[in-house]
Amino acid sequence: MRIIETKRAPNPRRVAIFLAEKGIDVPREERDLMSGDLRQDDFSALNPWQRVPVLVLDDGTAISESVAICRYFEEIHPEPPLFGTGAIGKAEVEMWNRRVELGLFNAVASVFRHLHPKMAHLEVPQVTPWGEANKEKVESELTRLDRRLAESDFVAGASFSIADITALVAIDFMKPAKLAAPEGHAHIMRWYQEVSARPSASA
């Protein structure tokens, strides 16, 4: 079993934090997404979408997409539960993780991919107006998240979950995307200080 990743990229980091919370150690194989390494035939055979991370099991099965990889490990190592417990708890974690992923995470990624000069060879075409438009969306999503965290210790409720991992990585991704830190959002900053202090955040 191994995980193929680009360590500094945000999606592999989501998996790394998840595994650290579980106390699971999986061998890693580094690929350089900036150099076109993910376009090589051997990698494309594992993931035709040419994105990291990819989990390769001992029998050769390849699982890509960060949440799918995390779900695999949740099934084989259910404690501590990071996808919620019970029908309602699991649904709420799924809801909030999707909201953060499709909202804040994707908006920050769009700013980075469409405005950062070093991404021009990977995001073809780069659409500058789309990158600029997503700056406003980032602020809107931060406001929504701040309202949520005014009433909840963690993003999906009383317990740390994959929704917090997605939100943490999204907010840390704001720095390379050259977006201002969410200092005007007091509830996010309270939460951010707490989750950033967890040992897994440095995984």
Q: For 116-145, how does the pLDDT look when each residue is reduced to its tens digit (9 = 90+)?
A: 999 999 899 999 999 999 999 999 999 999
pTM for the complete prediction?
Answer: 0.96
**For 44-55, what is each residue's pLDDT tens digit?**
999 999 999 999
- Specify the 3-state DSSP secondary structure of 63: strand
User: What is the chain's Cα-based Rg?
Assistant: 17
The architecture that CATH gives domain 2-76 is: 3-Layer(aba) Sandwich (3.40)
140, containing H or E segment? helix 128-149
pLDDT at residue 36 above 90?
A: no
What's the pLDDT at 195?
Answer: 98
* Confidence (pLDDT) at 12: 98
CB burial string 62-84: b at 16+ within 10 A, e below: ebbbbbebbeebbeeeeeebbbb
The model's confidence at residue 71, banded by pLDDT at 50, 70 and 90, is: very high
Helix, strand or coil, per DSSP, at residue 2: strand
The structure tokens listed for 117 are 């000069």
In percent, how much of the chain has pLDDT > 70?
A: 100
**Would you tell me which CATH number, out of the four given (1.20.1050.10, 2.60.40.10, 1.10.8.60, 1.10.150.110), belongs to the domain 86-202?**
1.20.1050.10
User: Would you say residue 33 has pLDDT above 90?
Assistant: no
Summarize the confidence of residues 173-201 as an average pLDDT.
96
Domain boundaries, the chain: 2-76, 86-202
